[in-house]
Amino acid sequence: MRDHTTNRRVFIKTTATAAAGIALMPGFGFVSNRVTKPLKRAFGKLGFEVTSLGLGGQASIQWTPDDVDPVKIILKAFNLGVNYFDTSNVYGPSQVNYGKAFSELSLDPGKAGYNEKRRRSIFLTTKTHLRHAKGGKNTPNVTSRTNGPEGSFTVDDVKRSLSQMFGDNQGSYPSGAYLDMVLIHNLNTMEEVNALYEGLYDTDPKAERIGALAALRDLRDGTNLTGLNPKEEKLIRHIGFSGHYSPPVMVEMIQRDKTNLLDAMLIAINANDRLNFNMQYNVIPVAAAKNMGVIGMKVFADGAMYTKEPHWTRGPMEVVRSVGSMTLPSRPLIGYSLTTPGVHTAIIGIGQINDDPAQCQLEQNLSAAQVDPSGMSSTDRQEVERMTQAVKEGKTNYFQLPDRGLTMPSGVSANQRKAGSERIVEISWHTAFAGNSPLKSYEIWRDGNQISSLTHKPQTSKTPFAFSDKLTDGESHAYSVVVVDFAGRRAESEAVRVEQL
């Protein structure tokens, strides 16, 4: 097999063999030669070419076994050409471990020998789990947390990240230090969306509560609209969010963004996605329609595809340190996530590295990530899904809402007006959500008869879909909207009525 392409014939044979529970033939599961120049993809609208594999900030970088040096994992990833690095303010020592590696790589602008060109060659993302930049403590259904001091807010988390990765780990950071991106971490509820957007479009520094987004905008633009950036520092370059759980919440987060503030999204996507309220047909198309960078995570369901039980990791003893398994190779699972339309890169946590490429998680994952966005056919994707459905009875994605099937369009309304001699009824509605098949179209029905059909497109704002029905009578009518998916399933809204005119 060549370094930079996925051999489709070998892939199909590998997955079919694995699914049957037969021992893999030599070379089908692992590749012994090293990737010399990793593939890169345009990263949405961010103006950066990102390697298709990114280094996750969890696994042994967060939950470090006694015999693992997390700094060596980071350095090896850099030396292999990986250019996307992920961490978070709630990943224990992860940011500190990155700081040690960055010091060895001369990426600290406060030290002699700082290599600015090398710093520009990587994309460093961290996350904040704090929803407010000011006030908002104990807000119902809003979960905020940090490993920082009690009473921290969003700006504190950003400065803590800079201090841990480029400064003294005591709160100070050098001039010229920056983060390529800060993500709002693990978005779960509509109340959290409300909190994050507080004060963004009507920013008042005297307000009792200010959401995280307004403060992150100040730190990106070097402004002080919130009163929380008095030195008008520019500390970050891009803003985004992450989510594992609820497609409607994540879609709401994107639709509320009136000024294209959000540049990227980190989202759970693996081969058991369609068994749940899925991301690939609901959230990712909306982000892609806004040209956001999309980072995939939970490729192995946080290790639940292998040795770990399906729950959040509890310590180093649960870090997966094997390279796939004989019955479920890691290669097709990585290929599945990276060939999901709209995904640009996938972050994977590393449990161990090894001088033998065949035994090194990092090298095997990087090799598997050398796949084009269209490098896996729909038939191959279905075969990978069939394989993973058998793992823990398909209940690996503990972080994801259960499947709800195809939902009907929401917020259907009908309003009428006169336009000269014409009577016009305006029908509007908001997006339906897909089950295990993509949305195809919307049908408009009047009084039990279909009068039109419109192709579905991702709804990228709070502006609803609309259809105008021109009438010549003055009678009462009942309207409904029916969504149709590519499997032929249908879901009809409640009827709405316009009265006689």
pLDDT digits (tens, 9 = 90+) for 446-462: 999 999 999 999 999 99
- For position 236, what pLDDT does the model report? 98
Domain ranges of the chain: 8-394, 410-498
Distances (CA, A) of 386 to 25, 27, 280: 20, 22, 17
Distance CA 189, CA 143 (A): 9
Does the structure show a pLDDT above 60 at 210?
A: yes
- For position 116, what pLDDT does the model report? 98
Over residues 111-122, the mean pLDDT reads 98
pTM score of the predicted model: 0.93
Q: What percent of the chain has pLDDT over 90?
A: 91
The CATH superfamily holding the domain 410-498 is Immunoglobulins (2.60.40.10)
Over residues 129-154, the mean pLDDT reads 96
- For position 31, what pLDDT does the model report? 60
- For position 326, what pLDDT does the model report? 87
- For position 30, what pLDDT does the model report? 58
Q: Do domains 8-394 and 410-498 have the same CATH topology?
A: no
Q: Comparing 106-115, 348-357, 419-428, 430-439, which segment has the lowest mean pLDDT?
A: 419-428
- For position 311, what pLDDT does the model report? 97
- For position 3, what pLDDT does the model report? 38
pLDDT digits (tens, 9 = 90+) for 18-67: 444 323 333 335 565 789 899 999 999 999 999 999 999 999 999 999 99
For residues 160 and 212, the answer to whether their CB atoms sit within 8 Å is: no
Distance CA 447, CA 242 (A): 43
pLDDT digits (tens, 9 = 90+) for 171-196: 999 999 999 999 999 999 999 999 99
Distance CA 406, CA 473 (A): 35
- Listed in sequence order, the residues at least 6 apart from 8 whose beta carbon sits closer than 8 Å to its beta carbon are 375, 376, 377, 380
Does the structure show a pLDDT above 80 at 7?
A: no
pLDDT digits (tens, 9 = 90+) for 336-395: 999 999 999 999 999 999 999 999 999 999 999 999 999 999 999 999 999 999 999 999
Q: What percent of the chain has pLDDT over 70?
A: 94
Q: Comparing 23-27, 70-74, 115-119, 225-229, which segment has the lowest mean pLDDT?
A: 23-27
For residues 367 and 90, the answer to whether their CB atoms sit within 8 Å is: no
Does the structure show a pLDDT above 80 at 15?
A: no
Q: In this predicted model, which residue has the larger pLDDT, 327 or 343?
A: 343
Q: Considering only CA atoms, which of 451, 456, 464 is closest in space to residue 483?
A: 456
Over residues 163-173, the mean pLDDT reads 97
- Listed in sequence order, the residues at least 6 apart from 332 whose beta carbon sits closer than 8 Å to its beta carbon are 11, 14, 15, 18, 271, 380, 383, 384, 387
For residues 468 and 426, the answer to whether their CB atoms sit within 8 Å is: yes
- Top CATH class of 8-394 equals alpha beta
